Amino acid sequence: MTATDEWRAEAIAHSTGASLLQTFLNDLHNRFQPLRDGKVADYIPELAKADPNWFAICIVTTDGRIFEVGDADQLFTIQSISKVFVHGLALEEHGRDFLLTKVGVEPTGDAFNAIILDEVSKRPYNPMVNAGAIATTSLIKGSCPTERLNRMLDMFRRYIGHDIFVDIATFMSERTTGLRNKAMAYLMQHFGMIDSRVDEALDLYFQQCSLMVNCRDLAVMAATLANHGINPLTGDRAISECYIRDILSVMYTCGMYNYAGEWAYRVGIPAKSGVSGGIIAVVPNQIGIAVFSPPLDKRGNSVRGVAVCEALSQHFGLHLLDSSMGCQKFLDMLN
């Protein structure tokens, strides 16, 4: 075999693996599009406007390849998925030890919006439930609300690779209906977990939930986490590598609402979902996965999103604790 033949054989294997993956994603999309279970979230009026038929799947590899099917350009608000990245920003700004004095890393089994703090420490349980996320957001540094918002937008820009904007209608909708979040924030102020700028912290939290993304953006963000904090499309570092472990651990144990335990058992990769119907999942060193489909199950996770991630995990042996398969198989297939 000449060098050119070898190169050609490798290119064909590469494209075969890639087209197999694309075909698999197309099949998943066809298989799960007819699912009619679940309900679009309506507790924030703006969310109720989502079309239940929207459905996109996107995978971005750590070497920068993008595979997608469906409504990958459809914009929606990031909601709770933002909590992962703001947790990362707070870790960078304050360090692990300080952050742990303000927010725990314990799964709760309670609803994401439960008004509950750890009885002894008075900390919110973890940064993925609303109380913990508001406490985390309240720590973002800056001399005024605009500076804090800009720091946050800069951080998201590094993960996504382009500018990102707050949807004002959703922000206002969150702000006027988020009474439980307000109650929680004031309770945390009472216990000294957040400082006196409670309303500013709430506004920043509502703004982060109202950032507009599409499914591809989410997959790039997940791939950045999979790629040790470097955005695989731009080559920019979004977060220091030393905090990836913290972020993924909390996603793994607390990222999927009250389904987190069963998700870890069945799917076995760190993930986070949000009430607008997005899910991100991270296979370290390999890929970022994102699925978007607004109808949610009773626990608040996208019905099609969970089905797709379970199928992907099973088919490619992505479960991190599955020693027989090993997720290296995934990139091997593409290479």
Contact set with ligand GLU (CB under 6 A) = 79-80, 112-113, 130, 174, 181, 209, 274-275
Q: How far apart are CA 306 and CA 324, in angstroms?
A: 23
Query: 131 or 327, CB closer to ligand GLU?
Result: 131
What residues contact 190, with CB distance under 8 A and at least 6 apart?
A: none
Q: For the CB of residue 26, give the shortest distance to ligand GLU in the complex, in Å.
A: 28
Query: 79 or 138, CB closer to ligand GLU?
Result: 79
Task: Report yes or no: 313 and 299 within 8 Å, Cβ to Cβ.
Answer: no
What residues contact 302, with CB distance under 8 A and at least 6 apart?
A: 38, 273, 277, 278, 279, 291, 292, 293, 294, 295, 296
Q: Token pair for residue 51?
A: 């079309």
What residues form DSSP beta bridges with 280? Answer: 272, 290
Closest CB to ligand GLU: residue number? 80
Q: For the CB of residue 84, give the shortest distance to ligand GLU in the complex, in Å.
A: 11
Task: Report yes or no: 164 and 156 within 8 Å, Cβ to Cβ.
Answer: yes
Query: 113 or 121, CB closer to ligand GLU?
Result: 113
Of 21, 19, 24, 30, the closest CA to residue 55 belongs to 30
Residues known to be catalytic: 80, 83, 205, 257, 275
Of 278, 280, 286, the closest CA to residue 232 belongs to 286
Query: 229 or 274, CB closer to ligand GLU?
Result: 274
Task: Report yes or no: 237 and 198 within 8 Å, Cβ to Cβ.
Answer: no
Q: Token pair for residue 258?
A: 């009250």
Query: 47 or 99, CB closer to ligand GLU?
Result: 47
Q: For the CB of residue 177, give the shortest distance to ligand GLU in the complex, in Å.
A: 8
Of 83, 236, 231, 113, the closest CA to residue 180 belongs to 113
Q: How far apart are CA 112 and CA 134, in angstroms?
A: 12
Query: 201 or 209, CB closer to ligand GLU?
Result: 209
Which amino acid makes up residue 145? P
Q: For the CB of residue 325, give the shortest distance to ligand GLU in the complex, in Å.
A: 31
Which amino acid makes up residue 35? L
Q: For the CB of residue 138, give the shortest distance to ligand GLU in the complex, in Å.
A: 14
Which amino acid makes up residue 157? R
Query: 229 or 255, CB closer to ligand GLU?
Result: 255
What residues contact 143, with CB distance under 8 A and at least 6 apart?
A: none
Of 157, 77, 108, 128, the closest CA to residue 272 belongs to 128
